[in-house]
Structure formats: structure tokens, C-alpha cells
């Protein structure tokens, strides 16, 4: 999101030269720059042995399976978000998580931090946000994800990290 007005006092912002950053929208009354902002979320491949959990959320797609994802809350580290989101959405606690790669999702203005999360339980207790969840063999997973989507890109990167 690009700021045009100061979110604190409502004044129209003007551009101000800020060193190496170049010209940045600036509020002259609050003396505050407003860099373009975006949301930060995590996208997680949840792995149990040679199985991966995929979810379906009808509000996102009725056809394709997706990965677990969720927005970060202010004050949380990305690792804490992974643990919280996986637990909230699936009812399973994460043994270990590891950062893999990041993606920028233009349409949602989202910076997505891609993680792998290892779990040892396989019984789901899903949140109302999820319409369906299932374990898939990692070897068969590719065809269930939308080609070229961020979930697909992230799954391919994670697969390269796993020794199968
Ligand atoms: Zn202001």
C-alpha cells in the first residue's frame, strides 16, 4: 500500500528526499516518513515423514489444494507465527520449523515467508477456516497444487531440501 495521507493527522503527504531511500512520502507536521507497506504472512509445508498436509479453503479455491498460511501478528517472530498457525489450523504442534524462502504475492500485497514444519502427530483437529485437510505422499503432491502458484513454488523449493 502506498500512503497519500498521514494515518496519524490526516495531512496530505509530500515527497521528501531520505538519503539512499530516495523520495519518500512524508508528513511535515508529524515529521514522519511513510514507506510503502504490505502485510507479512507465513506459508508452511507441514511434513510428517514422507507425507505433507494440504488444505482446502473454499473461499480461496474450490478446486486446488493449498498450503497452510497465515498473517503475522505484531510482536511475533515468523517462527512463532508458524507454530501458532499450524496449531490453530490443524490442531497439531510443530516439533521443528525452518525458513526456506520468501515470495511476494502482488495481488494481496503480501510478503510471504516460506517455512517447512516437521510434526509427528497425524490426527487433525481443524479450525473453522479450513474446509478440508488431508495427508498426501510428497511424491504425488505436485499435481494437487495450482501450477505456478506460490504454494506450488514453495512446495518445489521444500522438496529440493528434503532427502526422500
Ligand atoms: Zn501527520
Domains of the chain: residue spans and CATH: 1-37 (2.20.70), 39-161 (3.90.79.10)
Compute how many other C-beta atoms are within 10 angstroms of the C-beta atom of residue 76. 15
Position of cell 498450503? 67
51: nearest Cα among 147, 144, 148, 146 = 144
Query: Which residues place a Cβ less than 5 A from the ion ligand 1?
Result: 6, 8-9, 11, 27, 29-30
Q: Distance, CA 110 to ligand 1 centroid (Å)?
A: 25
CB-neighbour burial class of residue 157 (10 A; exposed 0-12, middle 13-18, buried 19+): middle
SS3 161: helix
Q: Distance, CA 1 to ligand 1 centroid (Å)?
A: 17
Position of cell 490526516? 10
Residue 28 backbone dihedrals phi, psi, to 5 degrees: -70, -30
Cα–Cα dist 24/38, whole Å: 16
pLDDT in tens, the chain (164 residues): 889 999 999 999 999 999 999 999 999 999 999 999 899 999 999 999 999 999 999 888 888 999 999 999 999 999 999 999 999 999 999 999 999 999 999 888 899 999 999 999 999 999 898 999 999 999 999 999 999 999 999 999 999 888 65
Query: What is the per-residue pLDDT for 164?
Result: 58
Query: What is the per-residue pLDDT for 107?
Result: 84
Q: Distance, CA 17 to ligand 1 centroid (Å)?
A: 17
According to DSSP, residue 66 is labeled B
List the beta strands (DSSP E) in the chain. 14-17, 23-27, 32-33, 39-48, 51-56, 68-71, 96-105, 110-118, 132-137
Q: Distance, CA 37 to ligand 1 centroid (Å)?
A: 16
Cα–Cα dist 91/75, whole Å: 23
Query: What is the per-residue pLDDT for 114?
Result: 98
Amino acid at each position: 500500500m502506498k500512503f497519500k495521507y498521514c494515518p496519524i493527522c490526516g495531512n496530505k503527504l509530500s515527497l521528501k528526499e531520505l538519503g539512499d531511500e530516495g523520495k519518500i512520502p512524508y508528513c511535515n507536521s508529524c515529521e514522519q516518513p511513510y514507506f510503502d507497506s504490505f502485510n507479512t504472512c507465513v506459508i508452511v509445508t507441514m511434513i510428517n515423514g514422507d507425507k505433507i498436509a494440504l488444505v482446502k479453503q473454499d473461499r480461496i479455491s474450490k478446486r486446488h489444494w493449498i498450503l497452510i498460511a497465515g498473517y503475522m501478528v505484531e510482536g511475533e517472530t515468523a517462527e512463532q507465527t508458524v507454530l501458532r498457525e499450524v496449531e490453530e489450523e490443524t490442531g497439531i504442534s510443530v516439533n521443528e520449523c525452518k525458513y526456506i524462502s520468501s515470495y511476494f504475492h502482488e495481488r494481496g500485497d503480501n510478503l510471504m515467508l516460506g517455512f517447512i514444519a516437521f510434526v509427528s502427530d497425524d490426527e487433525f483437529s481443524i479450525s473453522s477456516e479450513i474446509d478440508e485437510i488431508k495427508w498426501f505422499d510428497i511424491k504425488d503432491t505436485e499435481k494437487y497444487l495450482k501450477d505456478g502458484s506460490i504454494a506450488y513454488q514453495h512446495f518445489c523449493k521444500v522438496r529440493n531440501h528434503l532427502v526422500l
